[in-house]
Amino acid sequence: MERVSGLRFVVVGAGRSGLALTRFLLDRGGEVVLTDNRSEGLDPEVREMGRRGARLDLGGHDEAAFTRADRVLVSPGVPLTLPALESARRAGVTVWGEIEFASRFLKGRIIGITGTNGKSTTTTLTGLLLSGGGLDAVACGNLGTPLIEMAPADAPSRHYVVELSSFQLEAIETFRPHVAALLNVAPDHQDRYASHADYREAKGRIFENQRPEDRALLNRDDAETLEFAGGIAAGISFFSRLEKVEDGACVEGGRVVIRNAGRSREVLPVDQVPLVGVHNLENVLASVAAADLCGVASRSMASAIRRFRGLPHRIELVAENDSVRYYDDSKATNVAATAKSLAGFPGGVILILGGKDKGGDFASLVPLIRERAAGLVFMGKARDSIRAQVGEPVPARTVVTMAEAVAAAKEMAAPGQVVLLAPGCASFDAYRNYEERGEDFRRKVLSLAGGAPAPGGGR
Contact 255, 263 (CB under 8 A): no
Are 161 and 289 in the same domain? yes
**DSSP state string for 10-38:** EEE--SHHHHHHHHHHHHTT-EEEEEES-
pLDDT recorded at residue 457: 42
Query: Which residue is catalytic, options 61, 119, 203, 331?
Result: 119
* Cα torsion through 132, 134, 136, 138, rounded to 10: -10
440: CATH: 3.90.190.20
Q: Which residues pair with 266 in a beta bridge?
A: 257
pLDDT tens string 326-369: 999 999 999 999 999 999 999 999 999 999 998 899 999 999 99
**DSSP state string for 217-253:** EEETT-HHHHTTGGG--SEEEEEESSS--SSEEEEET
Taking the chain, what is the end-to-end CA distance rounded to the nearest angstrom?
41
pLDDT recorded at residue 120: 95
Average pLDDT, the chain: 95
Average pLDDT value for residue range 77-87: 94
pLDDT band at 210 (very low <50, low <70, confident <90, very high): very high
CA 43 to chain centroid, in Å, comes to 22
Containing H/E element for 266?
strand 263-269
Are 82 and 133 in the same domain? no
Domain final residue, candidates 307, 339, 360: 307
Residue 458 has pLDDT above 50, yes or no: no
Rounded alpha-carbon distances, angstroms, from residue 276 to 189, 271, 381: 26, 11, 29
pLDDT recorded at residue 459: 36
Total number of domains in the chain: 3
Are 194 and 326 in the same domain? no
Planar angle of CA 304, 419, 143, nearest 5 degrees: 40
pLDDT tens string 271-317: 999 998 888 999 999 999 999 999 999 989 999 999 998 888 989 99
Of 350, 344, 376, 346, residue with least CA distance to 362: 376
Which residues, other chains included, contact 112 with Cβ-Cβ below 8 Å and sequence gap of 6+?
162, 164, 175, 177, 179, 180, 181, 206
Are 236 and 349 in the same domain? no
> Helix crossing, 335-343 with 278-293: angle to 10°?
100
pLDDT recorded at residue 449: 60
pLDDT recorded at residue 75: 96
d(CA 165, CA 307): 27
pLDDT recorded at residue 452: 60
Are 339 and 433 in the same domain? yes
Domain final residue, candidates 285, 307, 329: 307
pLDDT band at 187 (very low <50, low <70, confident <90, very high): confident
Are 37 and 70 in the same domain? yes
Any catalytic annotation for residue 219?
no
Any catalytic annotation for residue 334?
no
Residue numbers of the domain that contains 176: 105-307
pLDDT band at 140 (very low <50, low <70, confident <90, very high): very high
Are 92 and 136 in the same domain? no
295: CATH: 3.40.1190.10
Query: Which residue is catalytic, options 117, 142, 184, 334?
Result: 142
Query: Which residue is catalytic, options 61, 159, 178, 189?
Result: 189
Which residues, other chains included, contact 349 with Cβ-Cβ below 8 Å and sequence gap of 6+?
342, 372, 373, 374, 375, 417, 418, 419, 420
pLDDT recorded at residue 189: 83
Domain final residue, candidates 43, 72, 97: 97
Are 280 and 333 in the same domain? no
pLDDT recorded at residue 410: 97
Are 303 and 325 in the same domain? no
Are 327 and 421 in the same domain? yes
58: CATH: 3.40.50.720
Domain membership of residue 459 (yes or no) is no
Domain membership of residue 380 (yes or no) is yes
Residue 451 has pLDDT above 60, yes or no: no
Domain membership of residue 457 (yes or no) is no
pLDDT recorded at residue 456: 46
Q: How many CA atoms lie within 13 A of 215 on its CB side?
A: 18
Are 183 and 329 in the same domain? no
Are 119 and 233 in the same domain? yes
**DSSP state string for 170-235:** HT-SS---SEEEE-------TTTSSSHHHHHHHHHGGGTT--TTSEEEEETT-HHHHTTGGG--SE
Any catalytic annotation for residue 189?
yes
Strands 316-321 and 452-453: antiparallel
Domain membership of residue 124 (yes or no) is yes
